[in-house]
């Protein structure tokens, strides 16, 4: 039995397992724990492809497993988080029932799942888009998930009134959901964060991004997470412009 060929798929399933745990915590409004397990799932997602290439055991099965696992960890979980934030923005924390559906406050929070729909479309398209072998087109679902899951943590820990007010405004949250779904599927080339080997030359851009990300986190803490995602998009745009010259 060739154990090596199963290692990448096992790592992918660990991503899925973390996503399932994060989903439970998201429903319980344990936002910090949901965030931690999504981060752990993304960690596994980062390395499954690396080990598949290292052991030369890449397969169509692994590709499908990766997308299915990401759909939970980086698709459904952020949708639930946004649903919970929208519910709170209306001051509604009770259990949803049929009798309460006459209230916009119980209907509009479901728009948070626009994020999940956008993630699903992106993951399906990623599997058939041959342009995305060495880079991404549109924001990857893990990056988008980190952006969304950071929002309730910023709300709980930020002292900046403008930001906390914005993150409690349902119009702002619905706009974020729509933009989130769009940016995941936009025709914007973004560099891959996956390490293919350990040489500096081939990973200079990734190293620059990771070093900058550490600084953002140290200085801004949870607020640094959306700043990192925005910086990732901007850095990719600049990189594209440089490569075109």
Most confidently predicted of 3-17, 102-116, 166-180, 198-212: 166-180
Contact in structure between 66 and 133 (CB atoms under 8 Å): no
Judged against a pLDDT cut of 70, whether residue 34 lies above it is answered with: yes
Query: How high is the pLDDT of residue 234?
Result: 92
Strands (E), the chain: 135-137, 189-191
Show Cβ contacts of residue 100 under 8 Å, excluding neighbours closer than 6 positions.
Answer: 94, 106
Residue 61: the pLDDT is 82
Say if residue 14's pLDDT is above 80: yes
CA separation for the pair 87, 167 (Å, rounded): 12
DSSP letter string, 54-116: HTT---HHHHHHHHHHHHIIIIIHHHHHHHHHHHHHTT--SPP-GGGTTSHHHHGGGGGGHHH
Regarding predicted confidence, which is higher, 194 or 213? Answer: 213
Q: What percent of the chain has pLDDT over 90?
A: 59
Its sign, for the CA torsion 13, 15, 17, 23, is: negative
pLDDT at 192: 77
Greatest mean pLDDT among 20-34, 36-50, 100-114, 122-136 lies in 20-34
- Rounded CA-CA distance 136/127 in Å is 12
pLDDT digits (tens, 9 = 90+) for 38-50: 999 999 998 877 7
pLDDT tens by residue, 177-199: 999 999 999 999 998 776 656 66
Note the pLDDT tens digit of each residue in 128-151. 877 766 678 899 999 999 999 999
């Amino acid at each position: 039995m060739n154990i090596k060929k199963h290692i990448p798929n096992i790592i992918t399933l660990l991503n899925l397992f973390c996503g399932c745990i994060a989903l439970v915590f998201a429903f319980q409004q344990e936002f910090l724990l949901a965030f931690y397990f999504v981060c752990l799932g993304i960690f596994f997602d980062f390395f499954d492809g690396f080990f598949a290439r290292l052991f030369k055991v890449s397969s169509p099965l692994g590709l499908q497993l990766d997308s299915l696992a990401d759909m939970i960890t980086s698709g459904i979980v952020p949708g639930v988080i946004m649903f919970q934030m929208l519910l709170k923005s209306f001051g509604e924390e009770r259990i949803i029932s049929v009798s309460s559906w006459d209230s916009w406050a119980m209907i509009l929070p479901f728009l948070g799942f626009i994020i999940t729909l956008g993630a699903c479309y992106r993951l399906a398209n990623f599997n058939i888009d041959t342009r995305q072998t060495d880079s991404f087109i549109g924001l990857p679902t893990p990056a988008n998930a980190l952006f969304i899951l950071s929002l309730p943590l910023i709300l709980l820990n930020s002292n900046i009134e403008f930001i906390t007010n914005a993150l409690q405004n349902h119009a702002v949250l619905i706009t974020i959901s729509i933009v989130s779904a769009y940016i995941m599927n936009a025709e914007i080339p973004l560099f891959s964060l996956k390490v293919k080997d350990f040489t500096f030359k081939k990973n200079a851009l990734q190293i620059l991004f990771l070093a900058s990300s550490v600084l953002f986190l140290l200085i801004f803490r949870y607020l640094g997470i959306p700043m990192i995602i925005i910086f990732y998009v901007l850095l990719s745009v600049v990189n594209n412009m440089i490569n075109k010259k």
